[in-house]
Amino acid sequence: MGRTKRGYIARRRRKKTLLNFRGRSSRLIRTMTQQEIKALASSDRDRDRQKRDFRGLWITRINSVIRQGWVSYNYSKLIHDLYKRQLLFNRKILAQIAIANKNSLYKISNEILKPEVNWKESAGVI
């Protein structure tokens, strides 16, 4: 049986994901594998972290726009009133509305602040 020489092919396969690493992390096989494991663990962890960061960013944007309009009204009261009225706006959509068109967000919050009308009592059903 002849000796198989495929070092270049194996090295190319190992280096495929590590082309942008610097120094020893891109040249030495053992260091490459350690850095790859570390990078994959970080990317997995940071995908969850990214979701938290974006949610916080959306909340901050909504709160800043709402506080510009009224001194006593804030994000937590807005969300509470949304749930009370059973309006299903998620925070991402509200943040996009807040950035693109502040007047629309003001109109939404004004509609929420109006006193709730019981349609059964107004129609004389009860």
pTM for the full model?
0.68
Write out pLDDT tens, residues 66-91.
988 776 788 999 999 889 888 888 99
Q: pLDDT (tens digit, 9 = 90+) per residue, 11-35?
A: 788 778 787 888 888 888 888 889 9
Q: Which among 5, 25, 1 has a CA at the least distance from the CA of 14?
A: 25
Across the range 33-60, mean pLDDT stands at: 93
Neighbours of 81 (CB within 10 A): 17
CA distance 77 to 69: 14
User: Quick one: which of 38, 36, 18 has its CA closest to 27?
Assistant: 18
